[in-house]
Structure 1
Amino acid sequence: MEQKIVRELDKIISGKHIKTVFQPIVSLRNGEIHGYEALSRVICQTDLANPEDLFHAALTYNRLRELDQLCRTTTLETISGKLTFDKKLFLNVNSLIINHDQFQLGFTSRFLKQYSLKPEQIVLEITERNSIADIDKFRKTIAHFKAENFHIAIDDAGAMYSGLNLINTIHPHYIKMDRRLIHNIDLGRLNFALIKGMTEFCRMSNIRLIAEGIETQSELMILIDLGVPYAQGYFLQKPDEQIKDIDAAIKRMITDCHKRKNNVFGTPSANSHISNICTPTEVVSKDTKVEDIFNKLKANPDAFGFCVVENERIIGMITKSHLTLQLSGRFGFSLYQNQPVSLLMDTDFIAVDYQMPINEVSRMAMSRPQEKLYDFIVVTKNDNYLGTVTIKDLLQKTTEIEVVKAKYENPLTGLPGNLVIEQKIRMCLSEKKTFGILYLDINHFKEYNDIYGFENGDCVIKLLADILVLHLPPGQFVGHVGGDDFVVILDDKDLKSYCSHVSSEFSRKVLHYYNPTDRANGYIVAENRWGVIEKFSLVTASVAGIRAKSQDFTSVLDLTEKLAKLKKKSKKLKDDNYLLIQS
């Protein structure tokens, strides 16, 4: 058996029976391609067709370096001349390989040039972290590649505790979440909490988070809602031999989700992009003398600093306060005046994508150490320098956003509240057309809340809110009245299918918020409103809907009163969870 595996390995390597396929890594802010992960596949008949089996065998039988070199060369030959400069190429590199001196000597900018690639485009994705024996040497290796402008990613973060230590040791540019955390995130609260925490950690650490293994629309929507910036997976696009964009329908799904999040019916957005308050700041080169920087700041008292840019990319920044501190003292100015600014510039700064929501940037800025708390924020577009945002402008906009949220949004779900709902209904009535309007709440919610507590009750309310948004057709409206009550306004032709999808999906997913006994019984035992112990069915979504002709209603009050009466009727239904009527 052993000899057979070795022969198979040698056949694959000597015959170059490897091809490369590429899976896109997609921005969950705009649906654009951020880069591609290169994956190797065997193209001959063999028992080692599975990539994991192949690389495990290569490691076991001392063929890893040869196989790795074949896969990497095949990838570079395949993609040569096809990757635009603004896209990244993610290359999987075993930790044993990257730590080898031969790899460091051979994988250089000169080597990449023959394939029309630059180090800035390459992301070295570290695999098999448990094989790192000499962590000090590994740290120096990573520092070497960072200095050469390569980017570093850690694969399957969260799969083991050692991954957290490694993140702290090397501070990668990217972290890829273990796909097991993503699987069924829409059903499990523990995974949801873990990913939420990891997202916040990456924001604060200025690390880009990538979710792997997206297989369903529901998983995608929740990751967008959590603010995960990048993702890849079969739902977005399967690996392909060609460098392809994702399907237009998937891109539209991502942008539509953001439109629903970012547009609260004519009000300022609670998630306005940072580009809206970004302004250009004068840039300098790394060779600019410190004395020249000092004179510029002296001539312009309003200037707060400069960005140090090379090839359109920011490599550092110098603030007025930082420079003043460095030049203070008896010999400070004479010591540095003729030195390049690169000697004093700060390379540990916050740089954010121009589409990052302002509230996220604000959280990142406020989590910095005290000495950096008031440094300006750098904004980039496609990793190129775009401009800066001062803390004053950031705080002013954040305050405005919080006022808007308090006035227009429900604090639990972030959905439009009563004021916006009323305005939306009034607008629909004024347009003199037929439209659909739904009133939803949760059957037996009070009893569930009494038994399982308000925290679980809030989770169930948010589950329904997520499902309502997930299935909402583009351009339609969902609002949160309060408690477990919601209003949805949509085209009347979509009413029945929407109600059916929402009702069935909620009934299925809410089961995960019960203990095994109650789930098996199909009911809970609780006191009713009169203090009598009673059996109550598991919660379901109750939906009352009207195909409303605007001419049949004299006011918003007239319509909502009819909807409230219909809601009472819908709660008495035994077979269906929704009731639709004509106005």
Structure 2
Amino acid sequence: MTTFASYRTKVLHLYKTTNKQTSEMKSFMELKNILEQSDIRIVFQPVVSLTNAEIIGYEALSRGPKDSMLERPDALFSTAAKYDLVWELEYLCRRATLEKAKDLAPSKMVFINVDPKIINDPRFQKGQTQDMLCQFQANTGNIIFEITEKTAIDDYKGFCCILDNYTSQGYKIAIDDTGSGYSGLRTLAEIRPNFIKVDMELVRDIDKDNLKQAMLKALYDFSVSTNSKIIAEGIETQDELATLISIGIPYGQGFFLQKPLPEFSEIPGSIKQIILELNKRKKRELYHTSMTLPVGEIAQQEQAFPSSTVGNVALDYFSQHPACQGITIVDNERPVGLLMKNKFLANLATQYGIALYMNRSIRSHMDKNPLIVAYDTPIEVVSKSALARKDDDIYDYIIITNQDKYFGTVTIKKILEKTTQLELNRAKHANPLTGLPGNLIIEGELDKLLKENSGNYAVLYFDLDNFKAYNDVYGFERGDKVICFTAEVIQQDLHSYYNRESFLGHIGGDDFIAITRGNDVTKLCERIISDFNHRIVDYYNHEDCNRGYICTKNRHGIHEDFPIMSLSIAVVTDKQRNYTTILEIAETASQLKKQCKLNWQSCYCIK
């Protein structure tokens, strides 16, 4: 006998089944109508260079009719897959895209999404895309087939053969959603795409996630070795953008840059400015040390809260932002306290913690004396201050202000990472013999000097006289020791006269360059020459010292007497001339050096 409960269950099941069938029928009819009426909308999202803020192309994105049940692309394409109509839908989307793309500038690319399954379809391989391109007068070199990695590829060998056919015709290939699909690195290794599009889940909050940063750095290194280009998808914040630029990711797209629009749109001027400024900052870091890089340049611009905020609001914020470890408390734009998550949760865990803190303002239990530093404070100074805190506070956020107003926060971890990175940068671009900054950093320092336009500076060019003859007689090993000795003398005297307000670089060989603030360098030059002359004799044997010269062949193979080495110093200042380019400084220094060389002993010339 059928019970009432079992009867009710059957009725509900039948009702749900009927409703599901009705819904499926509606979605099928909607798709059928879309295909018959070509009722598809195409929107375009720009793919932007993260180095110069130029748009390199647009990704074409398909949408169903507005306000319909298939408006969203996921609903549209999943319905097409269900009824085996993916080919028909993609053909419609591709045709609509190319029709619009005929008005696009020839230099811009169009990224067209393609399901791997339809590439095997004989209809795809018969040249319909080529026919469309001819019809709409488009260039195959501008078309990028974007293969989504969310669909498994079963036959790599056959799939690659088909792709080879298209690449031989000039088409390019992009792998979409890298990091979220079935095949992962194998897809990249087998297909060797022109572009690798990183899934937005890897980009989301990458500024706060060291593991994601490490993964993207590895993927970037892979792309360099395989001559592919990475496009980071789903950029939604300035901090994500800044992290991607610091890693070196060349291209990106996302709502922060520009949302998808029906027309080929530019990105806002303000966004261009942000990209260019972030790249300038990255370039400046190349020439910085931990004593010159302002801590504000690595600050994170986190949301701040007023001191009237109650505990449950703070708890909700921490829950919604797991990567956030602290909240800055700001009143009237000025920081007044800090609430670290670990300390807040520890208070809540006490016997009456919930009752005491959840509905009361965080003013009562915030740290009222956090470490607050100005934007321009060098990170080395901040690091020392941070490490001097009590053990319980070592890992607390450091609050950054700009003109006494709240600007952002930085962690001790970020400071130590940046310090290490700066040291590695300096080492990478340093002269291997002396460890002094090499040509790339020297150019940066000179460029910075001219751009500051602050005046009252001196550029000193040092050159050893008769060094080649010494090298020929005493050998390269002794010659290297003389170069290191020269660097040591210049550096010691520079620091004794100008402390840290100076720069010394090693151009190469026996040439050095120094920059000082203050163009009265007469006493400095005299001190350097005196120390050099006094100690250089230690690098000769007694016989040569007593004789005052060494005898060896000159450049023409004729024996010649060469005096003990001397030091020429050409000094360029802005006393008589306002220099605008590095070349102008170099030309003046070269003329002064020639004057010095006319003197057969250590000397200096100042202009």
- 2:94 and 2:375 map into 1 onto residues whose CA distance is 60
Of 54, 61, 65, the match for 1:39 = 61
Shift of 1:133: 2.9
Letter in 2 for 1:27: S
Matched with 1:192 is 213
Of 40, 47, 56, the match for 1:18 = 40
Check conservation: 2:152, 2:182, Cα contact below 8 A: no
Matched with 2:240 is 219
Larger radius of gyration: 2
State yes or no: 1:149 paired with 2:170. yes
State yes or no: 1:88 paired with 2:109. yes
- 2:105 and 2:403 map into 1 onto residues whose CA distance is 55
Letter in 1 for 2:137: S
Matched with 2:299 is 467
State yes or no: 1:262 paired with 2:87. no
Matched with 2:474 is none
- 2:297 and 2:125 map into 1 onto residues whose CA distance is 51
- 2:243 and 2:334 map into 1 onto residues whose CA distance is 17
Q: Alpha carbons of 1:499 and 1:207: their partners in 2 closer, same or farther (altered >3 Å)?
A: farther
Check conservation: 2:230, 2:250, Cα contact below 8 A: yes
Q: Alpha carbons of 1:541 and 1:253: their partners in 2 closer, same or farther (altered >3 Å)?
A: farther
Matched with 2:435 is none
Of 92, 106, 110, the match for 1:70 = 92
Matched with 2:224 is 203
Letter in 2 for 1:220: L
Shift of 1:33: 0.2
- 1:546 and 1:186 map into 2 onto residues whose CA distance is 20
Shift of 1:499: 12
Shift of 1:105: 1.6
Deviation digits for residues 386-426 of structure 1, max 9, x if unmatched?
A: xxxxxxxxxxxxxxxxxxxxxx53xxxxxx443x47xxxxx
Matched with 2:346 is 521
Shift of 1:500: 5.8
**5+ long unaligned stretches in structure 1:** 265-269, 271-407, 410-415, 422-437, 441-463, 472-495, 512-516, 524-535, 549-559
Letter in 1 for 2:35: I
Shift of 1:159: 0.9
Q: Alpha carbons of 1:166 and 1:128: their partners in 2 closer, same or farther (altered >3 Å)?
A: closer
Letter in 2 for 1:42: G
- 2:74 and 2:49 map into 1 onto residues whose CA distance is 27
Check conservation: 1:218, 1:470, Cα contact below 8 A: no
Letter in 1 for 2:371: S
Shift of 1:214: 0.6
Check conservation: 2:152, 2:183, Cα contact below 8 A: no
Shift of 1:241: 0.7
- 2:36 and 2:136 map into 1 onto residues whose CA distance is 22
Deviation digits for residues 486-529 of structure 1, max 9, x if unmatched?
A: xxxxxxxxxx999969999xx68x86xxxxx6673279xxxxxx
Of 237, 244, 253, the match for 1:232 = 253
Shift of 1:77: 1.3
Q: Alpha carbons of 1:501 and 1:185: their partners in 2 closer, same or farther (altered >3 Å)?
A: farther
Q: Alpha carbons of 1:544 and 1:165: their partners in 2 closer, same or farther (altered >3 Å)?
A: closer
Secondary structure, in 3 states, of the residue corresponding to 1:263? Answer: helix
- 2:376 and 2:151 map into 1 onto residues whose CA distance is 60
**5+ long unaligned stretches in structure 2:** 1-20, 304-328, 349-364, 405-607
Matched with 1:180 is 201
Query: Identity of counterpart residues, as a percentage?
Result: 34
Q: Alpha carbons of 1:55 and 1:247: their partners in 2 closer, same or farther (altered >3 Å)?
A: same
Q: Alpha carbons of 1:45 and 1:537: their partners in 2 closer, same or farther (altered >3 Å)?
A: closer
- 2:164 and 2:376 map into 1 onto residues whose CA distance is 64
Matched with 1:127 is 148
Of 97, 100, 104, the match for 2:118 = 97
Check conservation: 2:149, 2:183, Cα contact below 8 A: no
- 1:189 and 1:180 map into 2 onto residues whose CA distance is 14
Question: Which one has more relative contact order, counting CA pairs under 8 Å at least 6 apart?
Answer: 1
Letter in 2 for 1:100: D
Q: Alpha carbons of 1:499 and 1:198: their partners in 2 closer, same or farther (altered >3 Å)?
A: farther
Shift of 1:3: 2.2
Letter in 2 for 1:25: V
Matched with 1:50 is 72
Shift of 1:160: 3.3
- 2:110 and 2:330 map into 1 onto residues whose CA distance is 42
Q: Alpha carbons of 1:263 and 1:63: their partners in 2 closer, same or farther (altered >3 Å)?
A: same
Secondary structure, in 3 states, of the residue corresponding to 2:371? Answer: strand
Of 96, 117, 132, the match for 1:111 = 132
Shift of 1:21: 0.5
Check conservation: 1:93, 1:124, Cα contact below 8 A: yes
Letter in 2 for 1:216: T
- 1:544 and 1:194 map into 2 onto residues whose CA distance is 32
Of 26, 29, 36, the match for 1:7 = 29
- 1:84 and 1:112 map into 2 onto residues whose CA distance is 15
Deviation digits for residues 28-60 of structure 1, max 9, x if unmatched?
A: 001000110000111254222211111011011
Aligned length: 333
Q: Alpha carbons of 1:44 and 1:541: their partners in 2 closer, same or farther (altered >3 Å)?
A: same
- 2:300 and 2:46 map into 1 onto residues whose CA distance is 29
Q: Alpha carbons of 1:28 and 1:545: their partners in 2 closer, same or farther (altered >3 Å)?
A: closer
Deviation digits for residues 186-215 of structure 1, max 9, x if unmatched?
A: 222221221121112112221100110011
Deviation digits for residues 104-145 of structure 1, max 9, x if unmatched?
A: 222454531221211100000012553433222211111111
Matched with 1:159 is 180
Q: Alpha carbons of 1:579 and 1:26: their partners in 2 closer, same or farther (altered >3 Å)?
A: closer
- 1:164 and 1:214 map into 2 onto residues whose CA distance is 22
Letter in 2 for 1:86: S
Check conservation: 1:17, 1:44, Cα contact below 8 A: no
- 2:376 and 2:184 map into 1 onto residues whose CA distance is 54
State yes or no: 1:543 paired with 2:358. no
Deviation digits for residues 199-254 of structure 1, max 9, x if unmatched?
A: 12112221100110011111111111111111000000000011111001101100
- 2:279 and 2:39 map into 1 onto residues whose CA distance is 43
Check conservation: 1:129, 1:163, Cα contact below 8 A: no
Shift of 1:263: 2.9
State yes or no: 1:138 paired with 2:159. yes
Letter in 2 for 1:87: K
Check conservation: 1:182, 1:219, Cα contact below 8 A: yes
Letter in 2 for 1:66: E
Shift of 1:162: 0.9
Runs of 4 or more consecutive aligned structure 1 residues displaced over 6 Å after TM superposition = 468-471, 496-499, 501-504, 536-541, 578-582
Check conservation: 1:468, 1:502, Cα contact below 8 A: no
Matched with 1:330 is none
Shift of 1:15: 1.6
- 1:547 and 1:174 map into 2 onto residues whose CA distance is 39
Q: Alpha carbons of 1:110 and 1:520: their partners in 2 closer, same or farther (altered >3 Å)?
A: same
Check conservation: 1:522, 1:538, Cα contact below 8 A: no
Shift of 1:539: 12
Check conservation: 2:149, 2:181, Cα contact below 8 A: no
- 1:201 and 1:503 map into 2 onto residues whose CA distance is 46
